[in-house]
């Protein structure tokens, strides 16, 4: 007879969980394991509301120019290329959906956010038991309004959806290209002294943060050829380059990875090999991801540890948790939107995750199909902060496996 | 290279979901029987988040996945000790179920034995935290002695002595043997 059976029999039991509770618990774990945040940093949220042309910067696609500060563009001619800094396309209330196709074929956008690209992963055998997780990127083409396949192994899209930064050839790569998303032509190449495998445009669209690695960061080794057993390698992150796009001036700073044991002081850990660095919300600092608490560690632009700035992020994401007007905040369990000053609950949108604020009243999140019988059958939804209104933005992905499409959200 | 043995499914983030699927409900239930359900759902999620973050340090030579997860959950419950005691005190005020409320033989048995939710709650509240952890890991989790030792990170002898003290206290409180 089982010991203490009397206690088990007599003491009150609990009802089984509802699917939403299970999905939320699982989603929290998934957020930690994500190697790359999907959404774009949100410092331009205030600017987005003004829909103003901030200015333009020229760059000439020749190497060896004398470095200089970005300058305002006059009429664009010859081989000069404007870095578009306007948010003219972010029309309030403009919502673009493509719920018929998964992955999407036509632009998905709401408020100041858009799906600027998506990627699909697959395992590629490098040699013997060595495999790499590779991505095929489908990048939005503003000319055709469609997502089109590219050959780049890594990319990031600049705010405004006109330019993309791409890495040439196999990762890590020593050449960074600036791609015109409409003509699909590389406007200029920038040589990186230290090969990179991760990219992030600064919130103002003027600089690129490239994270460097010694080896491909998405590489594993099969144990005795068994597809179900993979050994992961420790991170080989070496540091980062900050590239000033207008001048092509590049500065590398060494910055090693976190490890699964944490630092010497037992601080945050990260056992992921890919530890891409990101800009903070105003582009004055950078941060590296952890797989523990706190969810990120900050550095100044010279790679020195920096105190955590007073910014509130969506957990394990580069998105601001605070609404563009500063009045509301996305907060934790149960997932909800709160008034920042009073702490009063504004609403509890029925989604698996809230990814980012599209405008002052609406957020983009991950929603389940139907009644959420299977949480990995999910897609992008636009929800109101009070949780009362929901619009499906994309078709549903079928599962959580390698091979499903992964969105990249960018300020448009 | 990170050393892995046969715990690949724990190490591999893509496969950790299977650990969650297999154990989430029982961990939530274990916590939910010791604390209120809202807290339990939070702590159950925290248990798997912590397990996920610490997966590199999981050592299968020191026990299986279940004791490991129950150990994390029990540590989290330990931070809510006063809430757990408040719950037992509240339950202790509940009288016996009315006759004919439930004809399940187990219920009949326990009423015959005079062990009600109220009396049992009062008895559990009188155990030390360490004794209560051992008793409830066995009662709710169905763990064996060795698994309890693994979960709590204590020696087998410690489990045995806590059990012995707990049995005596429970018997004194309830007037019957409960385990």
Q: What is the pLDDT of residues B109-147, one digit of tens each?
A: 555 456 788 889 999 999 999 999 999 999 999 999 999
Residue A410 has pLDDT above 90, yes or no: yes
A259 shares contact with chain B (CB less than 8 Å): no
Q: Is residue B23 part of a domain?
A: yes
pLDDT tier, A283 (very low <50, low <70, confident <90, very high otherwise): very high
Rounded Cα distance between A178 and A163, Å, is: 7
Give the distance from residue A188's alpha carbon to the nearest chain B alpha carbon, in angstroms.
37
Task: Output the pLDDT for position B157.
Answer: 93
Residue A263 has pLDDT above 80, yes or no: no
Residue B29 to residue A292, Cβ atoms within 8 A: no
Rounded Cα distance between A110 and A21, Å, is: 28
Task: Output the pLDDT for position B109.
Answer: 52
Stretch B147-159: mean pLDDT, rounded?
93
Task: Output the pLDDT for position B17.
Answer: 83
Q: ipTM, 2 decimals?
A: 0.86
Q: Is residue B12 part of a domain?
A: yes
Determine the residue of chain B that is closest to A400 in CA distance: B14
Task: Output the pLDDT for position A60.
Answer: 36
Rounded Cα distance between A189 and A168, Å, is: 9
| Range of the structural domain that residue B47 is part of | 1-79
Mutating which of B1, B2, B37 best tests the A interface, going by the most A Cβ atoms within 10 A?
Answer: B2
Task: Output the pLDDT for position A57.
Answer: 37
Q: Is residue B42 part of a domain?
A: yes
Q: Is residue B136 part of a domain?
A: no
Q: Give tens-digit pLDDT for A43-78.
A: 222 223 222 233 333 333 333 333 333 333 333 333
Return residues 184-223 of A near B (CB < 8 Å): 221, 223
Stretch B87-102: mean pLDDT, rounded?
67
Task: Output the pLDDT for position B175.
Answer: 84
Stretch A260-283: mean pLDDT, rounded?
84
Residue A164 has pLDDT above 90, yes or no: yes
pLDDT tier, B84 (very low <50, low <70, confident <90, very high otherwise): very high
Mutating which of B139, B163, B164 best tests the A interface, going by the most A Cβ atoms within 10 A?
Answer: B139
Residues of B in contact with A34 (CB under 8 A): none
**Structure tokens that stand for A156 in this block:** 């990031």
Q: Give tens-digit pLDDT for A301-354.
A: 999 999 999 999 998 899 999 999 999 999 987 889 999 999 999 999 999 899
Task: Output the pLDDT for position A282.
Answer: 94
Determine the residue of chain A that is closest to B4 in CA distance: A231
Q: Is residue B55 part of a domain?
A: yes
Rounded Cα distance between A376 and A329, Å, is: 26
pLDDT tier, B91 (very low <50, low <70, confident <90, very high otherwise): confident
The count of structural domains within chain B is 1
Q: Please give the biggest Cα pair distance in chain B.
A: 64
Q: Give tens-digit pLDDT for A350-386.
A: 998 999 999 999 999 999 888 777 888 899 999 999 9
Q: Is residue B173 part of a domain?
A: no
Task: Output the pLDDT for position A55.
Answer: 33
pTM score above 0.80 = no
Q: A62-68: long-range contacts (C-beta < 8 A, 24 or more apart)?
A: A62/A188, A63/A188, A63/A189, A63/A191, A63/A248, A65/A247, A65/A248, A67/A244, A67/A247, A67/A248, A67/A249, A68/A246, A68/A247
Q: Is residue B4 part of a domain?
A: yes
More confident residue, A230 or A305: A305
Question: What values do phi and psi take at A157, rounded to 5?
Answer: -100, 135
Stretch A177-189: mean pLDDT, rounded?
93
Give the distance from residue B139's alpha carbon to the nearest chain A alpha carbon, in angstroms.
5
Stretch A101-115: mean pLDDT, rounded?
95
Give the distance from residue A376's alpha carbon to the nearest chain B alpha carbon, in angstroms.
11
Q: Give tens-digit pLDDT for B6-43.
A: 345 566 666 788 889 889 999 999 999 999 888 899 99
CA A108 to chain centre: 16
More confident residue, B56 or A324: A324
pLDDT tier, A125 (very low <50, low <70, confident <90, very high otherwise): very high
Residue A172: strand, helix, or coil: coil
More confident residue, B178 or B65: B65
| Average pLDDT value for chain A | 83
Residue holding tokens 């600036």?
A178
Residue A6 to residue B120, Cβ atoms within 8 A: yes
Rounded Cα distance between A8 and A3, Å, is: 9
Task: Output the pLDDT for position B92.
Answer: 83
Mutating which of B47, B53, B73, B106 best tests the A interface, going by the most A Cβ atoms within 10 A?
Answer: B53
CB A264 within 8 A of CB A270: no
Domain containing B63 — which CATH number? 1.10.1740.10
Q: Is residue B130 part of a domain?
A: no
CB A103 within 8 A of CB A122: no
Residue B117 to residue A16, Cβ atoms within 8 A: no
CB B80 within 8 A of CB B35: yes
Rounded Cα distance between A175 and A166, Å, is: 8
More confident residue, B175 or A69: B175
CA A1 to chain centre: 54
DSSP letters of A73-122?
--S--TT-EEEE---TT--TT-EE-B-S-SS-SB--EETTEEEEEEEEEE
Task: Output the pLDDT for position B113.
Answer: 59
């Amino acid at each position: 007879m089982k010991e203490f059976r009397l206690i088990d029999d007599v003491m009150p039991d609990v009802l089984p969980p509802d699917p939403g509770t299970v999905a939320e618990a699982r989603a929290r774990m998934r957020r930690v394991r994500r190697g790359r945040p999907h959404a774009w940093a949100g410092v331009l949220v205030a600017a987005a509301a003004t829909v103003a042309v901030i200015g333009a910067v020229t760059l000439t696609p020749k190497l060896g120019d004398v470095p200089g500060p970005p300058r305002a563009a006059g009429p664009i001619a010859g081989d000069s290329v404007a870095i578009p800094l306007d948010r003219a396309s972010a029309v309030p209330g403009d919502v673009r959906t493509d719920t018929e196709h998964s992955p999407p074929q036509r632009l998905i956008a709401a408020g100041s956010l858009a799906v600027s690209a998506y990627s699909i992963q697959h395992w590629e055998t490098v040699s013997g038991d060595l495999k790499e997780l590779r991505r095929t990127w489908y990048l939005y083409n503003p000319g055709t309004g469609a997502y089109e396949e590219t050959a780049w192994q890594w990319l990031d899209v600049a705010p405004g959806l006109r330019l993309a930064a791409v890495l040439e050839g196999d990762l890590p790569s020593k050449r960074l290209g600036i791609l015109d998303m409409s003509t699909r032509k590389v406007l200029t190449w920038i040589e990186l002294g230290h090969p990179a495998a991760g990219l992030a445009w600064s919130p103002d669209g003027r600089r690129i943060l490239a994270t460097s690695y010694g080896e491909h960061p998405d590489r594993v080794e099969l144990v005795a050829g068994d597809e179900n057993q993979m050994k992961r390698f420790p991170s080989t992150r070496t540091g980062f380059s900050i590239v000033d796009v207008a001048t092509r001036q590049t500065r590398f700073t060494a910055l090693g990875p976190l490890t699964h044991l944490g630092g010497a002081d037992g601080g945050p850990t990260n056992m992921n090999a890919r530890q891409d660095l990101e800009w903070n919300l105003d582009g004055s600092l950078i941060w590296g991801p952890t797989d523990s608490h706190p969810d990120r560690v900050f550095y100044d632009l010279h790679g020195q540890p920096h105190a955590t700035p007073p910014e509130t992020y969506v957990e394990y994401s580069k998105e601001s948790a605070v609404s563009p007007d500063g009045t509301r905040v996305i907060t934790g369990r149960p997932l909800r939107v709160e008034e920042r000053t009073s702490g009063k609950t504004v609403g509890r949108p029925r989604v698996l995750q809230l990814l980012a604020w599209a405008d002052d009243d609406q957020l983009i999140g991950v929603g389940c199909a139907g009644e959420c019988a299977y949480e990995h059958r999910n897609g992008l939804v636009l929800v109101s902060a009070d949780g009362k209104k929901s619009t499906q933005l994309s078709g549903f992905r079928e599962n959580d496996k390698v091979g499903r499409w992964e969105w990249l959200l960018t300020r448009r | 290279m990170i050393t892995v043995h046969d715990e690949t499914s724990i190490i591999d983030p893509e496969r950790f979901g299977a650990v969650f699927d297999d154990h989430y409900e029982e961990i939530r239930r274990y916590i939910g029987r010791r604390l209120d359900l809202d807290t339990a759902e939070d702590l159950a999620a925290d248990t798997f988040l912590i397990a996920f973050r610490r997966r590199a340090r999981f050592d299968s030579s020191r026990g299986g996945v279940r004791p490991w997860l129950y150990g994390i959950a029990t540590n989290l419950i330990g931070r809510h000790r006063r809430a757990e005691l408040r719950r037992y005190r509240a339950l202790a005020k509940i009288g016996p179920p009315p006759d004919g409320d439930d004809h399940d033989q187990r219920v009949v048995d326990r009423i015959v034995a005079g062990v009600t939710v109220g009396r049992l709650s009062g008895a559990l509240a009188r155990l030390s935290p360490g004794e209560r952890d051992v008793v409830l890991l066995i009662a709710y989790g169905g763990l064996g002695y060795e698994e309890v030792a693994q979960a709590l990170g204590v020696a087998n002898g410690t489990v045995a002595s806590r059990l012995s003290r707990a049995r005596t206290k429970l018997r004194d409180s309830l007037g019957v043997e409960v385990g």
